[in-house]
Amino acid sequence: MLDLASLTELLDQPRKIVITTHHKPDGDAMGSSLGLYNYLIQQGHHAKVIAPTDYPDFLSWMPGNEEVIIYTENTKLSATLIADAEIIFCLDFNSLSRINEMGVLVGESPAYKVMIDHHLEPEDFDDYRHWDINACAAAQLVYTFIVDQLQHKELINKDVATCLYTGIMTDSASFRLPNTTSTVHRIAADLIDAGANNSRIHELIYSSSSENRLRFLGHCLANCLEILPEYNTAIIAVSKKDIARFDVNTGDTEGIVNYALSIGSVHLAAFIVERSDRVKLSLRSKAEFPANEICKKYFQGGGHRNAAGGQSEDTLEATVTKFKQILSEYKTLLNY
């Protein structure tokens, strides 16, 4: 691993830079990427954000969004940019498998790779690393990278601030998760001072549902929610048929699991959805319960303690049954 000080030197001159993030980007993935992008272009760098896949409309308003390249829609251009890059920033992920086929291209590129991330157990593909699992968002680490490492607080302009605020807000579940420290609030305050309109950002992210999405949410809560009182656990299981019936789009399922977790007695919530090729699980937990452990051990996934994801090649019914059986192993931990 190289010293970040030499990266600071590298960035003294305009460079060809690619910024990428994990597939199916969320608010932190796009917020951290575009935050860094809006910083780098002020320094005269030739920077491009390449997202491995598309992302929902409620994330498509951030400054610089119109310049984002979607890999699956522009494979040739993306491959050229990655091969020609001098520096590739890898934000909000730490394993090349998280960027699908792009992982091979990034791995083969002669560019310096910079990991800015807050997930557990980073893979060893990077040359530079700004990594902290205690950070609530990759956007928080982009902030500290710009301010503490590069000493460019004055370059946190309105565009940078808007993107970074969005990343921090979404990944901390609106400043609610246990990793929302006083430092995070101070950074958020700095970003507001730099021009981020916090109220407007909340509105753009959380109050931009489509009618379909809201009706789908209603269906999930009324018809698909199951509570297991002995495990303080709630499950929302959704079939392919439901997805088709409500014309559910990318991002429409995001956050639904949090409604299940909002029940006072629920310590663990699972959103289990049947997709075309596999079943996906999204887990959220309160306090110390390790949602990521279940995903890692049983569902080829992982994540953070309070927010994790996984998948299964079984049917929806079989996956739900397996999940319920696993809960007995965690009964004591769930009954705190």
Q: Which residue is nearest to Mn ion (CB)?
A: 28
34/19 Cα distance (integer angstroms):
9
Taking contact as CB under 5 A, which single stretch among the options 95-103, 137-145, 242-250, 302-310 is the one that binds Mn ion?
Answer: 137-145
Q: State yes or no: residue 92 binds Mn ion (CB under 5 A).
A: yes
Cα distances (Å, whole numbers) of residue 287 to 177, 179, 268: 9, 10, 10
Q: Judged by CB under 5 A, which stretch of 84-92, 231-239, 296-304, 306-314 contacts Mn ion?
A: 84-92
- For 29-44, b where at least 16 C-beta lie within 10 A, e where not — what string? bbbbbbbbbbbbbebe
Q: Taking contact as CB under 5 A, which single stretch among the options 1-9, 24-32, 174-182, 325-333 is the one that binds Mn ion?
A: 24-32
Pick between residue 210 and residue 258 the one whose CB is nearest to Mn ion. 258
Residue of 18, 19, 28, 130 that binds Mn ion (CB under 5 A): 28
CA Rg, the chain, in Å? 20
CA distance 102 to 117: 18
Task: For residue 193, give the DSSP letter.
Answer: H
281: contact with Mn ion by CB under 5 A: no
Tokens 């969005």 sit on residue: 166
From candidates 171, 252, 254, 274, binder to Mn ion by CB under 5 A: 171
User: Is residue 169 close enough to count as binding Mn ion by CB under 5 A?
Assistant: no
324, two tokens: 């319920």
Do 56 and 254 contact (CB within 8 A), yes or no? yes
Applying CB under 5 A, does 254 fall inside the site for Mn ion? no
- How far apart CA 127 and CA 115 sit, in angstroms, is 8
**283 within 8 A of 257, measured Cβ to Cβ:** yes
- Shortest gap between Cβ of 50 and Mn ion (angstroms)? 18
Closer CB to Mn ion, 28 or 274, in the complex: 28
Min separation Cβ 155 and Mn ion, Å: 22
Region of 86-94, 173-181, 200-208, 293-301 interacting with Mn ion (CB under 5 A): 86-94
- Using rule CB under 5 A, residue 138 touches Mn ion: yes
First and final C-alpha spacing in the chain: 41
Residue numbers of the site for Mn ion (CB under 5 A)?
Answer: 28, 92, 138, 171
